[in-house]
Amino acid sequence: MSIDPVPAYRERPARGIEGALVWSRTVAPGAAAPVLPDGCMDLLWTGERLLVAGPDTRAYRTASRETVTTISGLRFFPGTAPALFGVPAHELLDRRVELTDLWPAARVRALAGIVAGAGDPMLGLEAAARRGAAGTEPADPRLRRIVTRLADGASVAATADELGLGARRLHRMSLAAFGYGPKVLARVLRLQRALALAYDGIPFAETAFRAGYADQAHLAREVRRLSGRSLGQLIGQADGA
């Protein structure tokens, strides 16, 4: 099977699902595709099954395959997926579980049929997610504000004050919505901010400054802790790997 006609990684905004992205990744035989922490949860399609990827605290490494493998997914905006799946995010921390572990098997079979029957799994995942979300309560709108403020570099204390939340309440909300407390979420969002800058060709020292690290050494330590790799190694991985 040749993968030449299919990009190794592609993504776009999901239609009809606010803040979500839909994506597809093709992995060559023998390759492992690390997934970095981003504060999100994903609905995954393996070609046969629907899985849920919980929030990560470290790089998640997929097993290498003997054949070309394509995985598609719908990545929800941070904090929005638990309301859909009906489970606190911390229960899925650093885990991949079958959707049938969370929802009735008949419901999951119907949604899997939608994805399998679509010409493009990315389109199928959008349709399945919209069907699955029908009738569910939306996520607390304060969660988006938490993500926005922390992503902008605001402190946890300042974010709690702006939202009129005490530190303990903010921590409880964060565990349920993001899988970890606001300090860890802030670190994960800062990592993503740094990666975006570095991918744009910003020198690492300036990347560290713009992303809010004390210095380049601080950036290097945090990247290594959260990804298991150096920033140079990560940036050298093209096509979303």
| Token pair listed for 172 | 């409880």
CA distance 18 to 85: 16
Please check whether residue 55 is in contact with residue 89, taking contact to mean a CB–CB distance below 8 angstroms. Answer: yes
Q: Say yes or no: 114 and 191 in one domain.
A: no
CA distances from 41 to 157, 197, 212, 217 (A): 25, 23, 25, 30
Residue 3 has pLDDT above 70, yes or no: no
Residue 1 has pLDDT above 80, yes or no: no
Domain assignment present for residue 4? The answer is no
Q: Give the total number of structural domains in the chain.
A: 2
Supply the pLDDT for residue 9.
86
Please check whether residue 42 is in contact with residue 75, taking contact to mean a CB–CB distance below 8 angstroms. Answer: yes
Question: What pLDDT, in 10s, does the model give residues 149-170?
Answer: 999 999 999 999 999 999 999 9
CA distance 176 to 178: 6
* Percent of the residues in the chain that have a pLDDT greater than 90, as a whole number: 80
Domain assignment present for residue 1? The answer is no
Which range among 30-34, 111-115, 129-133, 142-146 shows the weakest confidence by mean pLDDT?
30-34
Q: Say yes or no: 191 and 106 in one domain.
A: no
Instruction: Quickly state the pLDDT bin for 183 (edges 50, 70, 90).
Output: very high
Which range among 5-9, 105-109, 149-153 shows the weakest confidence by mean pLDDT?
5-9
Q: Say yes or no: 163 and 209 in one domain.
A: yes
Place of tokens 């802030």: 186
CATH number of the domain to which 151 belongs = 1.10.10.60
Residue 197 has pLDDT above 50, yes or no: yes
